[in-house]
Amino acid sequence: MLTIAIETVVYLGVGLVMMMLGYFIIDLIIPVDFPQEINDGNKAVGWVSAGIYAALGFVIRSAIISNTVAEDSELLQGVVETAIFGAIGVVALVLGYFLVDIINRKFNFNEALKEKNEAAGIMVFGIFLGVAFIVSGVIQ
C-alpha cells in the first residue's frame, strides 16, 4: 500500500509538471496570450486551455498505465518514459493544431481565437482530444 501511495504522489507530480510545461510551450507557440485572453473572458481560449490539459492528462495516463502493466518496470524508468511520452504528446498537439489550421483554409485558428470565436476554441479542443486518443493508442 505504501508503494502505491508513493507511486501515486510521484506520478501525480510528474503529470502536473508535464501538463503545466505542455501548456506553457503551446501558449508560446500559438500566438495568443492565453492568461490575458482568459482574464478577458475569452471562452475560445478557455476551450483550448481545457483541451491542452485534458489531452495531456490522457496521454500521461496512458503512459503510466503502460508502465505499471510491465511487471519488471521500475519507478524511475516509468517516470522517465512518462515524461518522454508527455513531450511526444505536446509535439503531437502542436502538429495537429497547425496541420488542421493549414488544411482548413476557410478560417485561421489564430485569428479566430483572438476574435473570441468560441466555436473555433471548441474545434481545437476536439483536435487536441483526437490527437491524444491517437497518441495514447500507440502507447498502450
- pLDDT tens profile 48-102: 999 999 999 999 999 888 876 555 568 888 899 999 999 999 999 999 999 998 9
Query: What's this model's pTM, rounded to 2 decimal places?
Result: 0.90
Domain ranges for the chain:
2-139
Please give the pLDDT value at position 69: 57
Please give the pLDDT value at position 70: 56
Distance between CA atoms of residues 109 and 125, nearest Å: 12
One-letter amino acid identity for 96? G
Distance between CA atoms of residues 127 and 130, nearest Å: 5
SS3 of 106, please?
coil
Distance between CA atoms of residues 70 and 131, nearest Å: 25
Determine contact, residues 55/78, Cβ cutoff 8 Å.
no
Please give the backbone phi and psi of residue 4, each rounded to the nearest 5 degrees, phi first. -65, -40
C-alpha cell at 88: 511526444
- pLDDT band of 106, cuts 50, 70, 90: confident
Determine contact, residues 128/96, Cβ cutoff 8 Å.
yes
For 114-130, what is each residue's pLDDT tens digit? 999 999 999 999 999 99
